[in-house]
């Protein structure tokens, strides 16, 4: 079995945890029990999401979340250590390649 190389790559902190208010409802991106097998997802605290599993707030919030990853999108953090897309904080992630 071949060995993996571990490489560190920068990513926006919105990749792991993010939340926003959309029309008065809290939309959260991150790990949560209903989709633990799949990893991450977006949930909303409105009645429509609880009933259907999706809602307009989630669709609006998807456009607001940055989700930049140097490994996927290219670029590097700015000189002051910020995300090149949204200007937010960045963190280093380790990947096996």
Q: What is the pLDDT of residues 8-38, one digit of tens each?
A: 889 999 888 888 999 999 998 877 655 555 5
In Å, how far are 17, 38, 45, 81 from 57, measured between CA atoms? Answer: 17, 21, 9, 31
Q: Is the pLDDT of residue 78 over 60?
A: yes
Task: Identify whether 37 is part of a domain.
Answer: yes
Task: Identify whether 48 is part of a domain.
Answer: yes
Provide the whole-model pTM.
0.72
Q: What rounded mean pLDDT belongs to the chain? A: 86
Q: How many distinct structural domains can be found in the chain?
A: 1
Task: Identify whether 1 is part of a domain.
Answer: no
In Å, how far are 41, 69, 84 from 38, measured between CA atoms? Answer: 8, 19, 28
At 76, phi and psi to the nearest 5?
-135, 160
Task: Identify whether 75 is part of a domain.
Answer: yes
Domain containing 20 equals 6-96
Residue from 49, 48, 54, 83 nearest 69 by CA:
83
Q: Which residue has 């669709």 as its token pair?
A: 59
Task: Identify whether 25 is part of a domain.
Answer: yes
């Amino acid at each position: 079995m071949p060995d993996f190389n571990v490489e560190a790559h920068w990513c926006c902190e919105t990749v792991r945890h993010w939340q926003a208010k959309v029309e008065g409802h809290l939309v959260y991106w991150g790990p949560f029990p209903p989709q633990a097998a799949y990893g991450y997802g977006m949930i909303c605290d409105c009645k429509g999401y609880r009933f259907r599993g999706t809602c307009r707030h989630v669709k609006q919030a998807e456009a607001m979340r940055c989700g930049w990853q140097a490994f996927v999108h290219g670029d590097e953090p700015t000189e002051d250590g910020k995300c090149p897309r949204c200007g937010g904080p960045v963190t280093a992630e380790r990947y096996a390649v």
